[in-house]
Amino acid sequence: MLTFLQIADSNEHATNFCGTAEYLSPEVLNDLPACEGSDLWAVGCILFQMLTGRPPFRGENDFLTFQQILSHDSDAMEFPAHIPEAARDLIRRLLVLDLDARLTDYDTIQAHPFFEGVDWTGISTAPPPVVPDKTHLPTPTMVDGASPNWSLANVLNDVFGATPLLADDPRHHPIPPTSARRHSTTTSSSSILENNEGILLQADVKLHGSLFTKKARGLMFTTHGRLIVSDAKNQPPQVFQWGTNAIHIVPKNTSTFDIRYTSGSFRITDTVHGAQAWCRLLNAFKP
């Protein structure tokens, strides 16, 4: 693996929040920078899955998976009976919550009994020990309705349409209107708001795009029940009317949440207010 060979890039892109949810390390989930120890945590997860056929952490959704990771106890970790002791020891030492106590020394890892017989000096050029026969597999089909050309831009167009969705009539919320009006006096917001509409919550957020990109956006929720996504390029804002059974919010970790609807979802990260502030507000809104 690249991390064992110590040839992986160490640039700033290595600290992006991305990758398989089951392999994310505790420090990344706690909004700390990723590091070599984070990669080695993922190696421990991959070794476990290669030997057992399943990841060590898997909940009903990403949020519950993250809770399993953050509450993990390596000493109490259980393995199927067929897993050899050398593999158990290595995985336990890689999957330690405390980064300072985690096994991160490459010489120690390469000398571990699990890798007995591996020639590390020539591994990058050595042929694989087993070359499987070529198997002709049927062409894969998108049985779940997914598209090979998926992009977040297309998803948002499906949600918001070419024209923003507006409320047919004014909506009311139990938050006092004077408080809402106090937060709606900025120039950037005034052109977006309707008559007698105030802002209940507003933040600069990151909109997760396709692959590993994140785009800066403005996000606000108003007293008319409108969730508004805007950017800094003077593009028309995208507006979604809250208060129907077809849309809901799902927290993914302390600062990230999904907005889910009938045909898909999109992901937002707010490091200032956090996911719970948005969840409480949107779930409490009554049209």
Position 49 scores a pLDDT of: 94
| Residue-number span of the structural domain to which 204 is assigned | 199-284
Domain boundary among 91, 124, 157: 124
pLDDT tens, residue by residue, 211-225: 567 788 889 999 888
Paired residues of 268 in beta bridges: 207, 257
Whether residue 169 contacts residue 224, with contact meaning beta carbons closer than 8 Å, is answered with: no
User: What CATH number has the domain bearing residue 66?
Assistant: 1.10.510.10
Domain boundary among 82, 107, 124: 124
Residue 56 lies in a domain: yes
Same domain, 30 and 113: yes
Q: How does DSSP assign 81-106, residue by residue?
A: TTS-HHHHHHHHHHS-SSGGGS---H
Position 130 scores a pLDDT of: 76
Residue 136 lies in a domain: no
> How many independent structural domains does the chain possess?
2
pLDDT tens, residue by residue, 31-43: 888 899 999 999 9
Query: pTM of the predicted model, to two decimals?
Result: 0.45
DSSP letter for 188, please.
H
Domain boundary among 95, 124, 153: 124
Position 52 scores a pLDDT of: 92
Q: Hey, which of 104-118, 173-187, 215-229, 234-248 has the most confident mean pLDDT?
A: 104-118
Alpha-helix residue ranges (DSSP H) falling in the chain: 2-5, 26-29, 36-52, 62-70, 85-94, 106-110, 152-160, 177-182, 187-190, 275-284
Rounded Cα distance, 47 and 101, in Å: 19
pLDDT tens, residue by residue, 49-97: 999 999 999 887 788 888 999 999 999 999 999 999 999 999 999 999 9
Rounded Cα distance, 87 and 79, in Å: 10
